[in-house]
Amino acid sequence: MLGSLRKIVSQSPRGISASGIRIIASRTYASSAGAKEMTVRDALNSALDEEMSADPSVLLMGEEVGEYQGAYKISKGLLDKYGPKRVIDTPITEAGFTGMAVGAAYHGLRPIVEFMTFNFSMQAIDHIINSAAKSNYMSGGQISVPIVFRGPNGAASGVGAQHSQCYAAWYGSCPGLKVLAPYSSEDARGLLKAAIRDPDPVVFLENELLYGESFPVSAEVLDSSFCLPIGKAKIELEGKDVTITAFSKMVGYALKAAEILAKEGISAEVINLRSIRPLDRATINASVRKTNRLVTVEEGFPQHGVGAEICASIVEESFQYLDAPVERISGADVPMPYAANLERMAVPQVEDIVRAAKRTCYRSVPVAANA
């Protein structure tokens, strides 16, 4: 495996980072005109395929990414097309192959490391945090680490406490990393391309339950040059009464909640964060200054969560615009239960978002009054 990596390094072009950044900065959001349907799985697969075709320094490694074509079939067809030197099946040793990938990135390759679930990234967190995230700073900018760590994140269904954690806040707290969390097929395709082209390490948090979901994609999204900007949120739905921020699967829940609220005369603005680090504070604050209310939604634990960071940003920059306390919706502050009925209670539901939004609009009895 090491010999294969050395050979790829010797054949790889250098100095492509700057062009990647220019592409990222110049792209805008896709138009919905003439949209076709695409699953998130196919969006990720096509992004990998196109970036590997465009740049021979891009390679994929992880457990079952080759012969089995990925545990979730994200890498389907890539082994046949690019061969075992660029689509590398690894042993079950996250610490080993992640460290190898970081070393390859030091030498000019652009590895994509697939974790079968981000819970397994805990085995490799020293390489991600202490090597990948810090090397550029510690080398005075002499070492770039263009690497992507990707895989399913957050709660799935019936997989218990050790396979159901959301790592957005974990990795989002670390300087040197960029952290992305796609919701739609457009997000998955545009953000993964941006991550692969970026000169810095990117943690790319997918969601297993979204892989089979289909979303409309325009001709612009399907273009091989399509790329979304890192650090920019998307307003999925405009509104005037309350702002709801969410990422990954929770964006869909927020949009469903907005439909219910609209029937009761409450106009909700839904923001798809897309990027956890850097966080698009400007878009969030601008929205809250318009609606004067905020509900944050995430699957992760409440303490030190993404919602807590957003709340702090609003208090620091837009406190005087608030007409109601900020509402935080998150996973329960417990390890994920295995029992299906308890699991549902431990993760946010659409009705939780609806109740929180109504509380901010003083359209329901406050929680404290029911105690």
pTM of the predicted model as reported, rounded to 2 decimal places: 0.89
SS3 state of residue 205: strand
Catalytic positions are 94, 163
The residue with tokens 């080759």 is 66
List C-alpha distances in Å: 288 to 119, 142, 295, 360: 34, 40, 10, 12
> For residue 24, how many other CB atoms are within 10 A of its CB?
21
| Chain centroid to CA 79 | 25
Residues in the chain: 371
Residue 1 has a pLDDT of 52
Describe the strand order of the beta sheet including 202-206 as a list of residue ranges: 87-89, 58-62, 110-114, 148-152, 202-206, 178-180, 275-277
SS3 state of residue 104: helix
Is the distance from CB of 85 to CB of 8 less than 8 angstroms?
Answer: yes
Residue 336 DSSP label:
P
> For residue 369, how many other CB atoms are within 10 A of its CB?
7
Least Cα distance to 113 among 123, 126, 99 occurs for: 99
Tokens of 257: 């909640």
Q: Which domains occur in the chain, in start order? A: 2-222 (3.40.50.970), 234-360 (3.40.50.920)
Is the distance from CB of 204 to CB of 114 less than 8 angstroms?
Answer: no
Q: How far is it, in rounded angstroms, from Cα 132 to Cα 172? A: 14
CA gyration radius, the chain: 21
Beta-strand runs (E) in the chain: 36-39, 58-62, 87-89, 110-114, 148-152, 178-180, 202-206, 214-217, 234-237, 242-246, 268-272, 275-277, 294-297, 327-329
Q: How far is it, in rounded angstroms, from Cα 266 to Cα 284? A: 19
Q: What is the dihedral of CA 298, 301, 305, 311, to 10 degrees?
A: 70
pLDDT in tens, the chain (371 residues): 544 554 454 454 434 333 333 333 333 444 555 579 999 999 999 999 999 999 999 999 999 999 999 999 999 999 999 999 999 999 999 999 999 999 999 999 999 999 999 999 999 999 999 999 999 999 999 999 999 999 999 888 888 888 889 999 999 999 999 999 999 999 999 999 999 999 999 999 999 999 999 999 999 999 999 999 999 999 999 999 999 999 999 999 999 999 999 999 999 999 999 999 999 999 999 999 999 999 999 999 999 999 999 999 999 999 999 999 999 999 999 999 999 999 999 999 999 999 999 999 998 755 555 44
SS3 state of residue 56: coil
